[in-house]
Amino acid sequence: DGGITQSPKYLFRKEGQNVTLSCEQNLNHDAMYWYRQDPGQGLRLIYYSQIVNDFQKGDIAEGYSVSREKKESFPLTVTSAQKNPTAFYLCASSRGPWVDTQYFGPGTRLTVL
Amino acid sequence: GENVEQHPSTLSVQEGDSAVIKCTYSDSASNYFPWYKQELGKRPQLIIDIRSNVGEKKDQRIAVTLNKTAKHFSLHITETQPEDSAVYFCAASTNTGNQFYFGTGTSLTVIP
């Protein structure tokens, strides 16, 4: 898990602003994921990507966007369309779609002011 | 889609006692069941996992059991220690979607 980094650790956003959360991995993993964590609700999948230049919506994709231009990077943009963005955001990666173990980054805590 | 339910939501045990956390799942095609431990403000870390061709797996003080017929699996922690205090999440996934469906977590407190 030391091979997955997220930045920043804390992020504050004003209403109406878009913000981008960074996720980088040096594990040579093909698949990457973004989760949102709220108290008492576990982890919910926002987007995932199984290969470069391809990504799929998860259960709560509305108000978020992603890109996967490089294998190592999977940034998440929280847009102004996301009505309740304050949460803890976790990025994860796994070797490929046939291997299920996911390893998590340290997370970004986003707060909307 | 898959639905994973986890119980209890909170659990307190005396140091040295055992702790058991149970999860049920709905999709009979699910075939991989990991357990993650998350300390406050930190990332979830995999502690043990089991695949559907195995009924039980053990790693020192932790074990996981799987009942495919009943569609439930459980985490067992023996000889609990204060450092076991954390939130534990179960998950279930299938080969086809490579998506994890997480339980809502169990906050375990080990009282010294």
Q: What is the pLDDT of residue B41?
A: 85
pLDDT of residue A74: 98
pLDDT exceeds cutoff 60 at A1: no
Model pLDDT for residues A57-70, shown as the tens digit of each residue: 998 999 999 999 99
Reported as a single tens digit per residue, the pLDDT across A67-99 is 999 999 999 999 988 889 999 999 999 987 655
Cβ-Cβ contacts under 8 Å, A7 against chain B: none
> A91, A6 in Cβ contact below 8 A?
yes
| A43 neighbourhood in chain B, CB within 8 Å | 44, 89, 100, 102
Mean pLDDT of A108-112: 94
Contact A14, A112 (CB under 8 A): yes
Query: Could you count the other beta carbons within 10 Å of the beta carbon of residue B27?
Result: 16
Q: Which amino acid is at B89?
A: F
Q: Quick check: B84 and B108 in contact, CB under 8 A?
A: yes
- Helix, strand or coil, per DSSP, at residue B82: helix
Distance CA B98, CA B101 (A): 10
What is the Cα B42 distance to its own chain's centre? 17
Q: Tell me which residue in B32, B45, B99 faces A45 most closely, judged by beta carbons.
A: B99
Residues pairing with B62 in the sheet: B59, B77
pLDDT reported for residue A42: 84
Q: pLDDT averaged over consecutive 10-residue blocks of chain B (112 residues)?
A: 91 98 93 93 93 91 96 97 96 75 94 96
Residue A3 CA to residue A104 CA, distance in Å, equals 9
Q: Which of B34, B89, B93 sits opposite A42 (nearest CB)?
A: B89
Can you tell me which residue has the tokens 């407190």?
B109
More confident residue, A40 or B39: B39
| Cα angle value A32/A38/A42 (rounded, 5°) | 65
Closest Cα to residue B35, out of B108, B107, B110, B105?
A: B105
- Distance to chain A for B42, nearest Cα, Å: 6
CB proximity A31 to B under 8 Å: yes
| Average predicted confidence (pLDDT) for chain A | 91
CA A7 to chain centre: 11
Q: Which residue is it, tokens 């997955």?
A: A4
Peptide bond into A8 cis (omega under 30): yes
Chain A: nearest CA to B38, how far in angstroms? 11
Q: Structure tokens of B38? A: 């998350």
pLDDT at B95: 67
What pLDDT score does B1 carry?
Answer: 72
What is d(CA B72, CA B60) in angstroms, rounded to the nearest whole number? Answer: 22
**Is the CB of B107 inside 8 Å of chain A's CB atoms?**
no
Q: How far off is chain B from A14, nearest CA to CA, in Å?
A: 23
**pLDDT at residue number B6:** 96
Degrees to nearest 5, angle at CA B19 with B48 and B66? 45
State whether residue B95 sits within 8 Å of chain A by CB. yes
A15 touches chain B (CB under 8 A): no
